Structure 1
Amino acid sequence: MNADWWKKAVVYQIYPRSFLDTDADGIGNLNGITEKLDYLNDGTPNSLGIDAIWLNPFYPSPQCDFGYDVMDYYNVDPQYGAIEDFDRLLAEAHKRSIKIIMDVVPGHTSHLHPWFIESRSSKRSPKRDWYIWKPPRAFRGYPNNWLGVFGGRAWDYDGKTREYYYHNSLPEQPDLNWRNPEMAKAFLSAMAFWLDKGVDGFRIDVINYTMKDQQFRNNPLCLGRRPYDMQRHIYDKDRPDAVEVANKMRALTDKYPNKMLVGEVYIDNPDEAARYLGENGDGLHMAFNFSFMFSRFRAEIFKKKVETWERAIGDRGWPAYFLSNHDYVRHISRYAKGKWTEARARVAAAMLLTLRGTPFVYQGEEIGMRNLWLWKHEVLDPIGRKYWPVHPGRDGERTPMQWNSEKYAGFSTEDPWLRVHPNHKTVNVALEEKDPTSLLNFYKKLIRLRKENPALQMGDYKSFEGVPEGIFAYLREGGGQKILIALNFTQKPLQFSVGKGGIGRVLLSPLETVNADIKPSQIKLPPCGILIAEL
């Protein structure tokens, strides 16, 4: 087995609650994922062709933050099935050579987790220091000025023990104290439980929030849209020693062959994100590049973000890229521009799946699922319930997967937990599978192309200079191949040159015939044009 399988993989993110409901309760489950494995990869070109699945949390949870408030790291929430259902999913995925990556939440637990129940029971509790407790200042004042990312103070007063506990997110999500070695050992033991079952890696939730300033100093103030944004968060996150959490997790996973760690380092600073890769193979294998995801739809911006990330990583790790996930407006909606919307989505997909690095594709992205606007009474996400409409919440990117044009989009036979997007009549898997020109079949072609060409998997990256504004052109070279990728981010035709002579062979292009000759010195791209050619 290839120890670096994750470098060649295309990872598909599944939000289990919204993927497929097989027990008619309106909520997706693990058996629904198992049922659709052949859609993801059945070993033929008819399937999407992905290599790994990242599963959002399915642990037992009161669902205050839809699974990111964990009350048992060793089990499956009954809404999603049983531990035996996970075992079957894992076995069936591995039969199809699909890896399983679990989501792990190291920053906090649910307030109903036995650890926290014990911690808050008494100041003398042996687990008291597993969480962050501070006595009040004068007149029951807060320990400092820190605020919660979901709104309000980050400190909640416990009347029984007369101290405050810290929560970066909701009050129902008390933060763990990673400076306590016993807590760290217990958390790593939970990760080992799933590794022993055979999972292939972990996506680590907001790992840069795990450590806090030991002196608990006040954050300095600044300008911002909402109170949380009116502080510079230099003491409650992004602490230098947060890398040690990544080191501990890497030391654990290195005891198991061929495992992978990818971290959500939620910061728009590539140099800071790259720190979590460690220095000598002792950190994460990959970290998500949020500056790439936050980019506007401009060739020059994406080029700059990619090359800044390449420099920041150096030889320490491997790039990971994504454009959509469960927390952010889907990129097809962010980049929407009238009749050009789907064409832009194709350009984005071609970029994502041909850059050096591991691409992460969010469920429904491959069929062009759009964000759904919800009215306030429909909003379930805690961020949206507090800040709608300034921040409408994250429900819009979490709507049920659109499998067909039936009443509930083939997701369920009953009313789903979130309203189905009304465009499911025309945007769904069943329709797009039949249309050879669909976005779904375009994703299949790109993923297959990536698998068939070693330069697109492991080759070096080098961009071309001197191309017209609006063109992102780069070379992937490796495995005895040179592959040119040229992308037109504008709505006008552009002509340019990336070489003085020679002939290339078209691998993918909407206008050129596959295997047709192409001259790198005379490239013509239509509006939102795409060219992938072997030189």
Structure 2
Amino acid sequence: MTQHLTTATDAAPATGTQSDWWRDAVIYQVYPRSFADGNGDGMGDLAGVRSRLPYLRDLGVDAVWLSPFYASPQADAGYDVSDYRTIDPMFGTLDDADALIREAHALGLRIIVDLVPNHSSDRHEWFRRALAEGPGSPLRERYHFRPGQGVDGELPPNDWESIFGGPAWTRTENPDGTPGDWYLHLFAPEQPDFNWEHPAVRDEFRSILRFWLDMGVDGFRVDVAHGLVKAEGLPDIGGHDQLKLLGNDVMPFFDQDGVHEVYRSWRTVLAEYGDDRVLVAEAWTPTVERTAHYVRPDEMHQAFNFQYLGTSWDAAELRLVIDASLAAMRPVGAPTTWVLSNHDVTRHATRFANPAGLGTQLRTPGDRALGLRRARAATLLMLALPGSAYVYQGEELGLPDVTDLPDEVRQDPSFFRATGQDGFRDGCRVPIPWTVEGGSYGFGAGGSWLPQPATWGALSVEAQTGDPASTLELYRAALAVRRTRPGLGAGDSVEWLDAPEGVLAFRRDGFVCTANTTGRVITVPRPGRFLLASEAVGASAVLAGEEFVELPADTTVWWAV
């Protein structure tokens, strides 16, 4: 049996006008600096993104999420914002943003933009003035300035550590040159945390929301949504190892109940613009039940499912996480989200190429063929689940992480610190290839800000287009099937079917998905008419009047029933 492909042109029109479009949407993450370069300077930009919108429409996604493009010194790839209402010149202008939003809408695509409310850049006007005016400046109350401990205040105010490693506090210098107070930064020193207890901070961000909603954006992905409010008194942690962004420990600076008041306020702002604008939480929480708090009916619409992202390619583990995720979201009426890769973690084609348990930041390419095979199977499993799915740019090409970047080209701020995150996020941020040949494989007229592997021409959009066995055509086919079967992403449950150990099988409204997570061929009863498979399906046979089919190792198959 050969793999059946449905072309993108067979799909239903792009996103409709329904107010709950986000409940089963497929949302494509664009990391602007690595997507497409419109002016040939080696850095991706909004003009480049705009030029590739037809590609995203034809891929079959419903919405595009843009990582930050705001004015920024780029200490953390734009997640250090100096002006939330201005486009950084490296990405273009407000006119470029306006043109991109308008063209996306004309193509039937929605636009979600990143919002970074936990911290600003240290070049933000508020923070610069707070430093210049010194102790007693009212602007210092909009951040977390504190006197140090010790005889002369030479020690940080508490024992919190930065996600990027080292103390979460940096000492200032007073205008007269003497050592001053300390300020809090959960990430890099160039990213001071806002004090969300201050009304001016809350007012400012409601204004920022309206600015971009007036520009026509369809929603916001909220960075570090769990981090805005800190526990009263900023208490010591004590007894914890170095903090990790992906950790599940209960911390006094993450997932505090006070954040929910903020998002209820934001929800009322979005309601001023109709009922089809959305808020998406990047919320790392100890449990999926805690994540569900962010998507109660009067708060956000979606929250990233990081528990699923971190799950091994193992049937038993996947089933537990799927069940827990659906069960947690059901009481609050929110859709579950599914994601396998993003700009902060190792691409799943590399993660699944390595032994389980190594985490989401890897330094080895692993078994490339095995990783790609599992990644393709994992994608079909994800797209068969009820809820909304997120696709990270380049995963539709089967791109691996680039694990051999020279140290001198790396730009991840955590790479330059002794502890904290592993510092290898640059590997998933290498600019994607569009053409078989060229200095940057079609990324732009010049080079690329991170070097691309010499083998990437074979993984390019040009090389894979029209090849029925390619990963790109698999994604196009899967998204086309998902659109022509409206019930595929809808609902909040799956009906699990009996299956051999290592195989997941579930039914959903005239549809069955079977996923063999083992490294061997497994024979199962054929559940229906073949729709799509991540690898060519083996032979069929009739035994005692029932038809059986061979599921290849690490393969997912879709069936119509």
- Normalising by structure 2, we get a TM-score of 0.87
Q: CA deviation at 1:375?
A: 2.5
Partner SS for 1:28: coil
Counterpart position of 1:402: 433
- 8 Å Cα contact 1:506-1:532 kept in structure 2: yes
Larger mean Cα displacement after TM superposition, 407-416 or 64-73:
407-416
Q: 2 CA distance for matches of 1:115 and 1:72?
A: 10
Deviations 1:384-409 (A, max 9, x none): 12249992421000000111122211
Structure 1 match to 2:98: 87
Q: Select which of 367, 370, 383 maps to 2:414.
A: 383
Query: 1:530 corresponds to which residue?
Result: 556
Deviation at 1:521? Answer: 7.2
Aligned in 2, Cα 1:389/1:333: closer, same or farther, shift over 3 Å? farther
1:13 touches 1:53 (CA, 8 Å); kept in 2? Answer: yes
Cross-structure match for 2:266: 249
> Which amino acid letter does the alignment assign opposite residue 204 of structure 1?
V
Give the corresponding residue for 1:6: 22
* CA distance in structure 1 between the aligned counterparts of 2:135 and 2:321, rounded to whole angstroms: 48
In 2, the alpha carbon distance for the partners of 1:158 and 1:190 equals 28
Give 1:491's match in structure 2, choosing from 491, 499, 519: 519
Q: Residues 394, 230 of structure 1: CA spacing in aligned structure 2 closer, same or farther, 3 A cutoff?
A: closer
Q: Which whole-Å CA distance do the structure 2 matches of 1:352 and 1:430 have between them?
A: 26
User: Counterpart in 1 of 2:166?
Assistant: 152
* Paired amino acid for 2:47: N
Shift in Å, 1:423: 2.1
Alignment partner of 2:125 out of 114, 118, 127: 114
C-alpha contact 2:37 2:444 (8 A) present in aligned 1: yes
Amino acid at match of 1:377: E
CA distance in 1, matches of 2:556, 2:288: 28
In the alignment, structure 1 residue 361 sits paired with structure 2 residue 378: no
Tell me the distance in 1 between the aligned counterparts of 2:138 and 2:536.
68
Contact 1:223 1:229 in 2 (8 A): no
Residue identity opposite 1:320 in structure 2: T
Q: Deviations over 1:47-83 (max 9, x none)?
A: 2111100000000000000100000000100000010
Give 3-state SS (helix, strand or coil) of 1:487's partner. Answer: strand
Verify: 1:303 aligned to 2:319, yes or no.
yes
Amino acid at match of 2:380: A
Alignment of 1:34-433 (within 5 A): 34-41=50-57, 47-120=58-131, 121-139=133-151, 140=153, 141-160=155-174, 162-223=180-241, 234-257=251-274, 258-278=276-296, 281-316=297-332, 317-336=334-353, 337-373=367-403, 374-387=405-418, 391-405=422-436, 406-433=438-465
**Structure 2 unpaired stretches of 5+:** 1-16, 354-366
Among candidates 498, 501, 504, match of residue 472 of structure 1: 504
Q: Using the TM superposition, give the Cα deviation of residue 277 of structure 1 relative to its aligned residue in structure 2, in angstroms.
A: 1.2
Q: Secondary structure at the match of 2:138?
A: coil
Give distance in 2, aligned partners of 1:366 and 1:230: 28
Contact 1:13 1:360 in 2 (8 A): yes
On the 8 A contact 1:24/1:413 being kept in 2, the answer is yes
C-alpha displacement at 1:453, in angstroms?
0.3
TM-score by length of structure 1 reads 0.91
Amino acid across the alignment from 1:106: P
Q: Structure 1 residues 228 and 529, CA, compared in 2 at 3 Å: closer, same or farther?
A: closer
Q: Partner amino acid for 1:335?
A: F
Per the alignment, in what secondary structure is the counterpart of residue 513 of structure 2? strand
Matches within 5 A, 1:13-32: 13-32=29-48
Tell me if the contact between 1:261 and 1:286 (Cα under 8 Å) persists in the aligned partners. Answer: yes
**What is the CA–CA distance in structure 2 between the aligned matches of 1:347 and 1:381, rounded to whole Å?**
30
Amino acid at match of 1:37: L
Deviates more, 1:61-70 or 1:369-378: 369-378
> What's the CA shift for 1:244?
2.1
Q: Distance in 2 between matches of 1:528 and 1:227?
A: 31
1:202 is paired with a residue whose SS is strand
Task: State the secondary structure of the residue aligned to 2:91.
Answer: coil
Greater Cα shift, 143-152 or 70-79: 143-152
- CA 1:465–1:387 in structure 2 vs 1: closer, same or farther (change >3 Å)? farther
1:44 match: none
**How many corresponding residue pairs?**
516
Whichever residue aligns with residue 206 of structure 1, its letter is V
Q: Write the distance in 1 (CA, Å) between the matches of 2:183 and 2:157.
A: 10
Q: 1:230 to 1:456 in 2, by over 3 A?
A: closer
* Greater relative contact order, per chain length (Cα 8 Å cut-off, separation 6+): 2
Q: Hey, what's the Cα distance between the residues in 1 that align with 2:211 and 2:310?
A: 35
Question: Which deviates more, 111-120 or 444-453?
Answer: 111-120
Shift of the 364–520 alpha-carbon distance from structure 1 to 2, 3 Å rule, reads farther
Give the 3-state SS of the residue equivalent to 1:75 in structure 2: strand
Quick one: distance in 2 between partners of 1:339 and 1:159? 54
% identical aligned pairs? 34
Per the TM alignment, residue 155 of structure 1 is displaced from its structure 2 partner at its CA by 1.2
For the residue of structure 1 that corresponds to 2:384, the secondary structure is: coil
